[in-house]
Structure formats: structure tokens, C-alpha cells
Structure 1
């Protein structure tokens, strides 16, 4: 029998975002690009700032299921740079997703927003980020996305 999966909270990424750019309906959904312009990383043993570049590349499927892929980086307080590739989905009642699109507040508990962040860094102290699988539980706000990152043990 395989060992039971468990997770442990690791840190929170708050990514500040700019206005959405849409490439329109591409036939399989609407392509959107959302610039990442800064933010912060806070947790036990890892703290820093989200660097002001990168973006979240999304496709909104006809049923309002949102597939996302964000690529950006953060710098830790001690100078290590960590590249992040974060794929996931966001889904919920259509009327609530439309409120989010308009920048209106929605209770995050009512929206399924989960991601699988992958990290890369040459900094020895943070190699553990590349040696584990992580999952994220996220919430979209008008000007930011907040991701609680959990390490799969």
C-alpha cells in the first residue's frame, strides 16, 4: 500500500496584477493575459518580493472554466531568485465568475481555484522548492491573486 498523501502549509504568494489584455476568442475559448507587477512572499523560512515582470496566461472556456498558466519570479530577502511556473484552474458559478471579471469582490470559498506551482532556483538554501511537489489554494481579488502554497509530503 502506498503512503497516504499529506500536505503542509509552506508560504503565501501575493501577486499584484495589472489590467487584463484579451486576444479575443481563439476558437477554444477567450485568451487573456494578465501582467504581474509585484507582490510579496511570506512564510516560515522564506520571505521576499514578487518581481515586477511576468504574466498569467489564461483561456476562458465556453463553460467559464478558466485554465491558467502564470510565469514570474520572486526574490527572497537574502537575494535568491526563484522562477515560478504555476498552472491551475478556476471554476465556480457563472454569475460569480462574471463578478470577478468585472473586478467585484466575491467570497473566495465559493470559487474553486487550485494550482500546481513549480519552482526553479540555483540557490542551495531553496533547493527544497525543486525537490517537492506543491499545490496552491488561491483567491482572485480585483488587484491581486493570493496563493497559499502547500508542500506535498
Structure 2
């Protein structure tokens, strides 16, 4: 038996706007912080719309600099559907690169690793396909936003 090789299909580019980081202090596993998600846009071949002002990224930053990303937010499509996005991933890289990101500097996304896997859900039958598809993403952190390319795993 030969199993198919998975392929990636671009679904959308997301620009996720952020409010300032709310530091929670040291937790059981590392430094905890909440980054509110306050808006943004979605453009692409499969999804278009806007990021709603709901949700946050609940991060844990470990002693070695690894940031565990744990987000839950929502988008509204151009035709009025609401789609929940749950996105989990990792960001890490050389210490000086991560420090530059923390200072809000522009950093080449190739100089660090920011990858996610996402689950989307909606009750709108026009977008039922998102309920049955796995997604992966590649991202970059900017001063007040995250840029994410979201792909369907085919």
C-alpha cells in the first residue's frame, strides 16, 4: 500500500493586530503572558474577511527562549460567516533575534522559526469544509501584529 504524500494549499494570509503584551509573571513552566488580539484582515484564495476584536494569544516563554503560542480568536468572512480559529505553535531562534523581536524591530522571518497548526470551526454551511480540514501556518512577529500564511493540509 502506498500512502499519499500530504500537500499544502494556501488558504489565506492573515494580519493579526495585537494590543500590548500583558505579563503574568512566572508560571509553572515559564514566563506567562497574554497578548490580546484586537483586529486584522484575512486575504486569500479560500478565505477573505477581517479578524474580530476577540481573543488572545496565551503564551508561555520557557527558559531556553522557546515561546509556546496558544491562540483563540475569530474572523468574519466578507459574506458574513463567523469562523473560530484555534492556533497552536512555537517560535524560537537565536537569542539576539528573539531579543530584536521583543524590542519591536523588523526581523527577517527566515532568521527564526515560527510555525503553527490550526483548527477552524464554523456553523455556517458555506464554510463547512473548514470543520473537516487540518491547517498549518508559518508566521512572523511584527511590532504590533503577527503575519501568518495559513495552509490547508491536503
TM-score by length of 1: 0.97
Separation of aligned partners in 2, 1:131 and 1:96? 36
Separation of aligned partners in 2, 1:150 and 1:45? 10
Q: Deviations over 1:62-98 (max 9, x none)?
A: 0001101011100001000001110000010011101
Q: Which runs of 5+ in 2 are unaligned?
A: none
Query: Displacement, 1:27?
Result: 3.6
Matching of residue 25 in structure 1 with residue 26 in structure 2: yes
Query: Displacement, 1:25?
Result: 1.2
- Give the match's secondary structure for 2:54: coil
Separation of aligned partners in 1, 2:102 and 2:58? 15
Name the residue aligned to 2:83: 82
Q: Deviations over 1:95-151 (max 9, x none)?
A: 110111111111111110000111110111111111111100111000110110011
Q: Would the alpha carbon gap of residues 45 and 68 (structure 1) be closer, same or farther in structure 2, given more than 3 Å must change?
A: closer
Name the residue aligned to 1:120: 121
Query: Displacement, 1:45?
Result: 3.6
Instruction: Give the paired residue count.
Output: 153
- Give the match's secondary structure for 2:79: coil
Name the residue aligned to 1:34: 35
Which aligned pairs between 1:5-84 and structure 2 lie closer than 5 A? 5-84=6-85
Separation of aligned partners in 1, 2:47 and 2:136? 17
Separation of aligned partners in 1, 2:47 and 2:102? 31
Contact preservation (8 Å) 2:10, 2:45: no
Query: Displacement, 1:6?
Result: 1.0
- Give the match's secondary structure for 1:85: strand
More divergent stretch after superposition (102-111 vs 56-65): 102-111
Query: Displacement, 1:38?
Result: 0.2
Greater than 3 Å deviation, 4+ residue runs: none
Contact preservation (8 Å) 2:91, 2:115: yes
Tell me how large the CA RMSD over aligned residues is. 0.9
